[in-house]
C-alpha cells in the first residue's frame, strides 16, 4: 500500500500494486476503484504502461475523462437524467450535454469514480487481488435505494486481469457498472490509437441521436464503418462521412455482442502491430461501448509528463445498453431487493 495523495476533501488515497510471474504489473487506487497502471511486455519483452492515467489522486480528481475508473451507479447515458420505475419518476443530475441536449452520464456529478472505496488487499503468490467496497446511500445522485457494491480485481496469471462486480440494493434501482480504462497498446505516452486493429464479435450496434442517446434501433454493422467482425484499423474508416461517426465525433457507440454459448468466450481483440501487444476481452455483459477517446483534447498531462491528445486511448466498456431504464426493448438493468447483481469482465494482454 503506497500513499497516493489527498482528495479535494482531504481524504488520503492509497495505491495497491499487483504483480504476476510473467512480469506484468497492475496498480489500483481506492479513489474510484481505479486501474492506474498496467505494465506489460511487448514482443521483445520490453515493459510499457498501456493504460492512460496519472501519478497522484489530485490529477484524477481534476480530470473529467474517467481514466481507469469504475463508473456507476449507471455507466453511460440516461436521457434527460430521468426515468420512471414502478410508477415513480426519478430525477438524476444532468452532467453531460452532447449537442446541447442534457443527459445523465456515468452516475452523475460525483459518481462512483469520485468516491474513496473501502479496500482489502489480498496478496497471493499466483492470484493477487484487491477488493473495493462502496455504499451508495438512498438518494445518491438521485438514485433510489441503498446500494452496496463490491468490485474485485484479480491478476489471474497469463496476462489476465479479471474484474468481478457484485451489487445489492434495498429498493429497486437501475445498475450498470463498468470500468472506463483507456488503453494504448503501444504505451500510454504514444500519440494515437488509430493504427490499432480491432475485432469485435458484434453483428449489430446501437445508433444514437444528436444527444448520444440510442434511438432504440438495433442496426446491422454490415456495409458500415461499424463492421469490426474482421480485424480493421481504427483509423481506417473513422473519418468516413457517416452520420453516426459525425454525431459521436468518432466511435462512441454500444456494440451488441453476438450471443455466445459460453458467456466468457472471447468477445473482441485489439492488436497493435509495432509492439505486437494483443488485448483480448471476455465478458458476461451483453454490450460493449467502443469509445475512441474523441473528447480527450490534450489538456490532461499523463503520468509520464505527456499530454494526452485526441484519440490517444480507446475504451472497451463492457456493460448493458445506454438508457436502458427508458428503453423497454433493451435487457433490463433493474436490480430489486433480494437479488444479487453480478458481472465479470476479463482483459488479457499477450503478444504476437
Write out the residues near ligand GLA by the rule CB under 6 A.
65-66, 105, 252, 289, 291, 295, 315
The least distance separating ligand GLA from the CB of residue 65, rounded to whole angstroms, comes to 5
* Contact criterion met (CB below 8 Å) for 80 and 94: yes
- CA angle at 59 for the pair 57 and 64, rounded to the nearest 5°: 115
Cα 176 to Cα 178: distance, rounded to the nearest angstrom: 7
Q: Which residues pair with 48 in a beta bridge?
A: 40
In the complex with ligand GLA, which residue's Cβ is closer, 66 or 321?
66
Q: Is 160 a catalytic residue?
A: no
The least distance separating ligand GLA from the CB of residue 20, rounded to whole angstroms, comes to 28
In the complex with ligand GLA, which residue's Cβ is closer, 24 or 175?
175
Q: Which of 188, 285, 317, 320 is catalytic?
A: 317
Cα 131 to Cα 126: distance, rounded to the nearest angstrom: 16
* Contact criterion met (CB below 8 Å) for 121 and 170: no
The least distance separating ligand GLA from the CB of residue 319, rounded to whole angstroms, comes to 10
In the complex with ligand GLA, which residue's Cβ is closer, 18 or 65?
65
In the complex with ligand GLA, which residue's Cβ is closer, 155 or 193?
193
Distances (CA, A) of 20 to 127, 188, 213, 302: 8, 20, 40, 25
* CB-closest chain residue to ligand GLA: 291
Q: Which of 180, 196, 253, 320 is catalytic?
A: 180
In the complex with ligand GLA, which residue's Cβ is closer, 54 or 66?
66
Neighbours of 126 (CB within 10 A): 9
The least distance separating ligand GLA from the CB of residue 41, rounded to whole angstroms, comes to 28
Cα 85 to Cα 95: distance, rounded to the nearest angstrom: 21
The least distance separating ligand GLA from the CB of residue 184, rounded to whole angstroms, comes to 15
In the complex with ligand GLA, which residue's Cβ is closer, 155 or 221?
221
Closest CA to 198 of 112, 88, 143, 272: 272
The least distance separating ligand GLA from the CB of residue 108, rounded to whole angstroms, comes to 13
* 300's grid cell: 490532461
Q: Where are the beta strands (DSSP E) in 235-309?
A: 252-256, 268-272, 277-283, 287-291, 300-301, 307-308
DSSP calls for 11-63? -EEEEEEEE-TTS-EEEEETBTTEEEEEEEE-TTS-EEE-B---SSHHHHHH-
Q: Is 317 a catalytic residue?
A: yes
Residue whose C-alpha cell reads 437524467 in the numeric block: 81
The least distance separating ligand GLA from the CB of residue 159, rounded to whole angstroms, comes to 24
SS3 letters for 201-252? CCCEEECECCCCCECCCCEECCCCCCCCCCCEEHHHHCCCCCHHHHHHCCCE
In the complex with ligand GLA, which residue's Cβ is closer, 153 or 291?
291
Give the catalytic positions in this structure: 180, 317
Amino acid at each position: 500500500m503506497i500513499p497516493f495523495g489527498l482528495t479535494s476533501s482531504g481524504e488520503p488515497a492509497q495505491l495497491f500494486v499487483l504483480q504476476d510471474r510473467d512480469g506484468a504489473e497492475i496498480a489500483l487506487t481506492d479513489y474510484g476503484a481505479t486501474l492506474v497502471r498496467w505494465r506489460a511486455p511487448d514482443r521483445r519483452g520490453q515493459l510499457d504502461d498501456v493504460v492512460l492515467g496519472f501519478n497522484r489522486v489530485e490529477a484524477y480528481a481534476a480530470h473529467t475523462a474517467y481514466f481507469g475508473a469504475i463508473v456507476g451507479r449507471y455507466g453511460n447515458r440516461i436521457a434527460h437524467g430521468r426515468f420512471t420505475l414502478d410508477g415513480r419518476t426519478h430525477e438524476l443530475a444532468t452532467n453531460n450535454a452532447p449537442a446541447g441536449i442534457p443527459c445523465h452520464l456515468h452516475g452523475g456529478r460525483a459518481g462512483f469514480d469520485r468516491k474513496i472505496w473501502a479496500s482489502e488487499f489480498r496478496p497471493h503468490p499466483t492470484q493477487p487481488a484487491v477488493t473495493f467496497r462502496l455504499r451508495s446511500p438512498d438518494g445518491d445522485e438521485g438514485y433510489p435505494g441503498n446500494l452496496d457494491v463490491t468490485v474485485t480485481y484479480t491478476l489471474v496469471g497469463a496476462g489476465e486481469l479479471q474484474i468481478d462486480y457484485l451489487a445489492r440494493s434495498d429498493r429497486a434501482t437501475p445498475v450498470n457498472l463498468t470500468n472506463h480504462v483507456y488503453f494504448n497498446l503501444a504505451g500510454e505516452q504514444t500519440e494515437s490509437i488509430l493504427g490499432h486493429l480491432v475485432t469485435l464479435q458484434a453483428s449489430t450496434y446501437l445508433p444514437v441521436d444528436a444527444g448520444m442517446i440510442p434511438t432504440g434501433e438495433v442496426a446491422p454493422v454490415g456495409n458500415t464503418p461499424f463492421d469490426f467482425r474482421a480485424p480493421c484499423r481504427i483509423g481506417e474508416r473513422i473519418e468516413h462521412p457517416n452520420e453516426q461517426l459525425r454525431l459521436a465525433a468518432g466511435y462512441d457507440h454500444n456494440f451488441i455482442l453476438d450471443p455466445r454459448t459460453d458467456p466468457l468466450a472471447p468477445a473482441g481483440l485489439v492488436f497493435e502491430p509495432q509492439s505486437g501487444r494483443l488485448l483480448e476481452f471476455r465478458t458476461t455483459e451483453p454490450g460493449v461501448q467502443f469509445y475512441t477517446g474523441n473528447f480527450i483534447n490534450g489538456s490532461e498531462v499523463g503520468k509520464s509528463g505527456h499530454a494526452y491528445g485526441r484519440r490517444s486511448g480507446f475504451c472497451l466498456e463492457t456493460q448493458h445498453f445506454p438508457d436502458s431504464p427508458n428503453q423497454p426493448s433493451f435487457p433490463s438493468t433493474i436490480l430489486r431487493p433480494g437479488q444479487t447483481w453480478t458481472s465479470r469482465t476479463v482483459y488479457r494482454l499477450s503478444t504476437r
